[in-house]
Chains A and B, each alone.
Chain A
């Protein structure tokens, strides 16, 4: 288009060229207008629901604010408490990092394992796929309630069956050493989404690659390591990133499980003292502590400081994973 106008400027009359340039400029502005129009919902949404809260959060993190009176500036006071005095914060950080280090890999591994088996299966694939996907549809609250009930150390079916087999079942959600593994079981049960993604990716692996590897004498495990895994590595990366993001936001299941397992009944009579992260702080995850500080103890300023720390860590983790990924992720065909 540009060369056209250049030629036109030389050959045709100058007036026509000027008209063409003006028309083009109008077209460009009209196009920009359309782009702005299409983007407008997101622009407003981003500023109001992302940009503004982020800036406000940063500001509030330097104040004490309980919503009843106006925020009072305390400078670095919140951060000092955060890094020095808060007895619960490091438990919360450790627990959340435990999820990232244990729950996420297990979820990815199980999803991959089940998907591999499904890919090789010849009969009843639809049925099996439904069985594995269905738990992902269960509302997290309901799933957690179900698991707490099933894993009740005294009356739950699991321990009852273990008892009949002569095994002393663990205390599951009531034992600080078993509470997070119980939540992990719950998390692995719900890997339906990831599993289906892996399944599609595995089925997408070009047959000729697998076949030529087979011809070269590679056994099934070799084939998996050298053909399947590298080919689906973008999907593995995707699952890991999504998993880490979810682990950092982990709230519902821990909140419900702790309350139910602790037998908190907020009913007639005096208060039952809250045990944060029942049992013994083992289910105190960072988002839960943030919620308590902000919305139960109404330390909104401190909660904002916690949020800022969370933002930093989330950023770092994502950068870390993406940076590491360059080494082992292999994109098929042209670079994306």
Chain B
């Protein structure tokens, strides 16, 4: 893709002039990238700067915090029940993701490695569910949960995840299709029933895909706003972080510095997760798009 060619076995350092030119070309090549990256970082920089300002300064047009109000990160916990919100988010994300995996893996397996009549037709129906905006089904579902007296709790959010998720099924199925048939045949010959095959062979081989699905699910539930807004708004005890953040304003007027500090704190778990699992994240993202 570049114009330079790789030098043969004997490597001589190119003369300084050439090296300088190459560096300048590299910077020029990358200049657009650097500019774009800078633009992308601008909002993040402002958010961080604002989170370190005093309340008064956050409302003024001044750009650089002076003094640095590190105490904001502590104040946030005093002014809002951030721990409670984080706990609720953890509950939703954790239980939801667990259920999603437990229920979607067998389904994906059935769609990929088991042969049965009508399999591809039914899979098309799964895809249709993927296309559907949640707002279409939201009204009757809300009525159903209200009649079951569960509105205000986290259950309407968690329970559907225990019955399979179209996106997870889709992703896992695509991956399972790539498992070489020999492994499965070998296990069958050994006398394993389907369930054992699933648990031993497939699970081990599909770890990257499962990890990716888990990470996606955690990310999605952690940031979910619409469903929690619908089911939890009248019960502040059960608010998740995303609702808490949006309500943060009206609870304490507009203390933008605290709002930004709270934002960073809410982002923190996900960012940590991302850094620990970077490779799997990227792998998972590409699994969705490229194979699909």
Contacts and interface: CB of A to CB of B under 8 A. Distances in A.
Contacts of B229: 255
Interface stretch (B24-32, B73-81, B203-211): B24-32
Interface in A141-169: 141-143, 145-147, 149-150, 154-157, 160-161
Interface in A41-73: 41-42, 44-46, 48-50, 52-54, 56-57, 60, 65, 67
A97 interface: no
Contacts of A38: 106-107, 109-110, 114, 194, 198
A146 B47 contact: yes
A93 B240 CA distance: 30
Contacts of B267: 137-139, 142
Contacts, number: 269
Contact of A34 (B36, B114, B223, B245): B114
A233 interface: no
A178 interface: no
Contacts of A54: 136-137
Contact of A145 (B36, B136, B259, B271): B259
Contact of A35 (B40, B110, B245): B110
Size range of the chain A interface in the assembly: 35 or more
A128 B37 contact: yes
B282 to A, nearest CB: 6
B35 to A, nearest CB: 10
Interface in A261-292: 264-267, 286-287, 290-291
A304 interface: yes
A141 B245 contact: yes
A192 B246 CA distance: 23
Contact of B162 (A41, A120, A286): A41
B137 A135 contact: no
Contact of B1 (A120, A145, A234): A120
B96 to A, nearest CB: 13
A150 B46 contact: yes
A189 B36 CA distance: 10
B289 A200 contact: yes
A105 interface: no
A249 B163 contact: no
A265 B141 contact: no
A174 to B, nearest CB: 15
A57 B44 contact: no
Contacts of A90: none
Contact of A31 (B116, B131, B230, B286): B116
Nearest to B233: A295
B10 interface: no
B132 A34 contact: no
Contacts of B137: 49-50, 53-54, 57, 307
A197 B103 contact: no
Contacts of B256: 149
Interface of B is mostly: helix
Given A128-B37, A197-B290, A39 B110 contact: yes
A145 B46 CA distance: 12
B32 to A, nearest CB: 6
B33 A118 contact: yes
Contacts of A146: 43, 46-47, 260, 263
B106 A41 contact: yes
Interface stretch (A5-13, A18-26, A77-85, A311-319): A311-319
Interface of A: 31-32, 34-35, 37-39, 41-42, 44-46, 48-50, 52-54, 56-57, 60, 65, 67, 114, 117-124, 128-135, 137-143, 145-147, 149-150, 154-157, 160-161, 189, 193-194, 196-198, 200-201, 204, 210, 234-235, 238-239, 245, 248-249, 251-252, 255-256, 259-260, 264-267, 286-287, 290-291, 294-295, 300, 303-304, 307-308, 310-311, 314-315, 318
Interface of B: 1-2, 26, 29-30, 32-33, 36-37, 40-41, 43-44, 46-47, 49-50, 59-61, 63, 102-104, 106-107, 109-110, 114, 116, 125-126, 129-144, 146, 160, 162-164, 169, 193-195, 198, 219, 222-223, 225-226, 229-230, 241-243, 245-246, 249-250, 253, 256, 259-260, 263, 266-267, 270-271, 274, 278, 282, 285-286, 288-290, 292
Given A52-B140, A57-B140, A141-B243, 4 more contacts: A45-B164, A49-B141, A149-B46, A259-B246
